[in-house]
Structure 1
Amino acid sequence: MMLSRQKKRWVYGLMACILAISVNLATPTVSHAGFLENLLRGVINWGVQSYQLSNLSDAQEQGFGQEIHNNLIRSGRVKLYNNQRVVSYVNEIGQRLARESTRPSLNYRFFVVEDDSINAFATMGGYNYINTGLIKTATNEAELASVIGHEIAHIAAKHSLAQMRVQARNQGLLTAAGLDSSQIVQLGMAIAVDYPNSRSDEMEADDLGFNMLTRAGYAPEAMVSFMRKLMDASGGRRPPGFLSTHPATSDRIARLQTRVNGYQGNAQGTLYTEGLNQQRYRSRVTPL
């Protein structure tokens, strides 16, 4: 049957509309293109996350500490000393002190660095590093414990995170969203081995370290004797790395000596005396 001329015009019009709609849907308009571009950008950036340093959980902090540690080793900035006898001894002391810290639930790790310079440092997440040179310089276990406790204190007080915020701000890296993981790791490496701690951070680490030392039963005078020994050994030259970041070492020694005198008076010579046996200490670090 032949369609009338009017019906043909209606059918042709309907077909034209359908074709126009199809073409419009198939052709990316400016708005469609913008949507697709944003979607693609989201796919490319998937997995890139920013972190607010003030809100890191213990698990996140420990994860970044592990990454910083791995990069320090891979880059050659740190060469580990792997004699198990010495490493186990340092870990034994460290764990004893960490239990008395203000963050005892953190998974603290202790490493010995093959380096004759007298130094120690720490990074976020519980990672502590003690140079072989410092271990050999200490006279007894209590002196070594005083240094380890000081480094644990920096971690417990989150000093590296606070310093990271300062450095990120100074370098123009800090945004409203925070820092991404690669920036945190790179800054963490630099802060661990290159940047000095502030005077206030050192004072706080002294106090927290002293508390750990006494709670663990070590003789607190070892903290003072070791600082004084290192200052005297420098003979006016640049002090060892462990002290070079401490701008007022004499003031700190005076403050700590006052606390030592108070503890000795209260203890009446019966407490806080562990770790002073030189012969026992030397037998534990014989491989060095």
Structure 2
Amino acid sequence: MKSLVSAVSGLGTALLLLHSGCSTNPVSGKREVSLVSEEQELAMGKEADPQVIAQYGLYENEALQRFVQEKGKQMGAISHRPGLTYQFRVVDSPVINAFAIPGGYIYLTRGIMAHFNNEAQFAGVLGHEIGHVTARHSAQQQTKSTLAQVGLIAGMIASPQFGQYAEQAQQGLGLLFLKFGRDDEREADQLGVEYSSKIGYDAHQMADFFQTLQREQQKSTAEALPPFLSTHPDPGDRYNTVHQLATQWQQKMPATNLQVNRNSYLQMIDGIVYGEDPKQGFLEKGVFYHPVLKFQFPVPTSWKFQNSPQQVQMAPQDGKALMILTLAPGETLEAAAQQMIKQYQLQVVESKSITINGLPALAVVADQVAQQQQQPQQQQQQQQAAQVSARTLIHFIRYGNANYVLLGASSPQDFATYAPQFSSTAQGFRQLTDPDKLNRKPERVRVKTLKLRSNLSQALRSNGVPEARLEEMAILNGMQLNEQVNAGSLIKVVEQ
């Protein structure tokens, strides 16, 4: 949660104004039915891009952003849609993921950038995402689905189905991207091989990266799968297929020295933030700390938790409730409360001024009432209870010249069960003063030059990697622990 901002609404009316028609697929050359025109596709991407950036933030590294943009433009120029104005971004998320949205907007997380071990692996994945755009997978998928909501509060308030949000929190909420069918993923793999090969990279390296994904998948069997894994074909199958495709493309092309560029890539990502960045806030022993904004609050035991630049989200495993911490505009608590009540069309049940750890606050119980057709007043009163789709307990807390909002919601039937947890979480909001938490530094990838020939396990140990993290570092390096590494080789470790 690098910078809390108020929740954003959905992607706008462009998603609703879909008209059927036929178009020619730029990759296959075939005529196909499309409910999204190219103009609408471009408009959707243009509208969604700033919301993606607001939700996750751009990773603050000009050299890395410039590298991704330059390679992406080079690849876009030889793609099946060279006329598109592509945009490429590295977003500030530890999740291993890359994704595309309609109109040529492509994102790679710092998490996936840290796990690439050469430029050719990066180029293959970049080509894969460009392939989703050129084959219009995003636009076609739009006929079946809509882009994930960025403004989770609005979606939560509008729906009594809290389970889906608990499930999203459990899965890490991933990033904003569409889930493609496996045929689309295979076609994108083919295009990734083609595009990366055409700009001079060895696409066999793209296949090798699938081994990293497969090992990450195996490591995550007891955890939520990274989104890049959960929606893509089995990494083991892709490894073999992409190797075959790479060989075929290299046979078509004139003899040339295909690029891998391991050392230059590793030197470029030396120092990249690895894992969660404490300055965005972090969870430790059941308490969320934000060193930059200097606050803390408890997270209910066993609740799933997700932090993003825009908001903190929490949900119990049964999916029957949700809590969100965010900011609300307004010069006073009362102004902030009035705006939120009006924005989400809530009906206030009760409101009272309180103090939370010396901070002025408002506690508001309010209902989301389902819209009903005009009915006689008596009948409306009789059905009022049935109309309530969600009950909320919202705490507005004034701290540091800002209005913090801790919103808890559940169905009316479950509200009595969860209201004490909503309240105790809000009552635990306080100023952060612990120097250890305020000065917490992120872990970063550090690139080391080996002085002696050894296996990777010995090399990692000699660079201070503890036993418990040897396999994690082996995956980060795309190597096996027993693999031999020569003197002068570069390897990645993680340090503060």
1:121 match: secondary structure: strand
Structure 2: stretches of 5+ with no match in the other structure: 1-13, 21-33, 147-172, 273-496
Shift of 1:271: 2.5
Shift of 1:110: 0.4
Contact 1:142 1:223 in 2 (8 A): yes
Say if 2:240 is the partner of 1:273: no
Say if 2:208 is the partner of 1:220: no
Query: For residue 51 of structure 1, what is the aligned residue in structure 2?
Result: 18
Contact 2:95 2:174 in 1 (8 A): no
State the Cα deviation string for residues 109-153 of structure 1 (Å, max 9, x = none).
001111111111110000001000111110011111111111111
Aligned AA for 2:231? Answer: T
Shift of 1:64: 1.8
Query: For residue 267 of structure 2, what is the aligned residue in structure 1?
Result: 283
2:226 and 2:174 mapped to 1: Cα distance? 18
Query: For residue 251 of structure 1, what is the aligned residue in structure 2?
Result: 237
Shift of 1:83: 1.8
Contact 2:43 2:103 in 1 (8 A): yes
Query: For residue 198 of structure 1, what is the aligned residue in structure 2?
Result: 181
Which of 234, 237, 247 is residue 217 of structure 2 equivalent to?
A: 234
Q: Which has the larger radius of gyration?
A: 1
Aligned AA for 2:226? Answer: P
Contact 1:128 1:152 in 2 (8 A): yes
State the Cα deviation string for residues 162-182 of structure 1 (Å, max 9, x = none).
1111126xxxxxxxxxxxxxx
Q: TM-score under structure 2 normalisation? A: 0.40
Query: For residue 77 of structure 2, what is the aligned residue in structure 1?
Result: 99
Shift of 1:237: 2.8
Decide which structure has greater helix share: 1
1:203 and 1:159 mapped to 2: Cα distance? 12
Contact 1:214 1:272 in 2 (8 A): no
Query: For residue 262 of structure 1, what is the aligned residue in structure 2?
Result: 248
Regions of 4+ moved over 6 Å: none
Which of 65, 77, 83 is residue 87 of structure 1 equivalent to?
A: 65
Identity, % of aligned positions: 32
Aligned AA for 1:258? Answer: Q
Aligned residues: 217
Shift of 1:248: 2.9
| Counterparts in 2 of 1:266 and 1:128: CA distance versus 1, 3 Å | closer
1:55 and 1:167 mapped to 2: Cα distance? 12
Contact 1:86 1:287 in 2 (8 A): no
Shift of 1:261: 3.0
1:140 and 1:265 mapped to 2: Cα distance? 22
Shift of 1:97: 1.2
Alignment of 1:1-288 (within 5 A): 50-52=17-19, 54=34, 56-74=36-54, 76=55, 78-167=56-145, 193=176, 195-235=178-218, 237-238=220-221, 239-264=225-250, 270-271=255-256, 273-274=258-259, 276-288=260-272
Contact 2:196 2:203 in 1 (8 A): yes
| Counterparts in 2 of 1:259 and 1:247: CA distance versus 1, 3 Å | closer
Decide which structure has greater strand share: 2
1:49 and 1:131 mapped to 2: Cα distance? 29
Query: For residue 180 of structure 1, what is the aligned residue in structure 2?
Result: none
2:257 and 2:214 mapped to 1: Cα distance? 24
1:197 and 1:160 mapped to 2: Cα distance? 8
Higher relative contact order (CA 8 A, sep 6+): 1
Aligned AA for 2:45? Answer: G
Contact 1:122 1:129 in 2 (8 A): yes
Contact 1:83 1:287 in 2 (8 A): no
Shift of 1:67: 0.4
Contact 1:89 1:284 in 2 (8 A): no
Shift of 1:66: 1.1
Shift of 1:234: 3.3
1:210 and 1:272 mapped to 2: Cα distance? 16
State the Cα deviation string for residues 190-214 of structure 1 (Å, max 9, x = none).
9972642111110110111111011
Q: CA RMSD in A?
A: 2.7
Q: TM-score under structure 1 normalisation? A: 0.67
| Counterparts in 2 of 1:101 and 1:56: CA distance versus 1, 3 Å | same
1:191 and 1:67 mapped to 2: Cα distance? 20
Contact 1:62 1:107 in 2 (8 A): no
Query: For residue 379 of structure 2, what is the aligned residue in structure 1?
Result: none
1:61 and 1:248 mapped to 2: Cα distance? 29
State the Cα deviation string for residues 56-79 of structure 1 (Å, max 9, x = none).
5544422221101122334x2x22
2:239 match: secondary structure: helix
Aligned AA for 2:42? Answer: Q
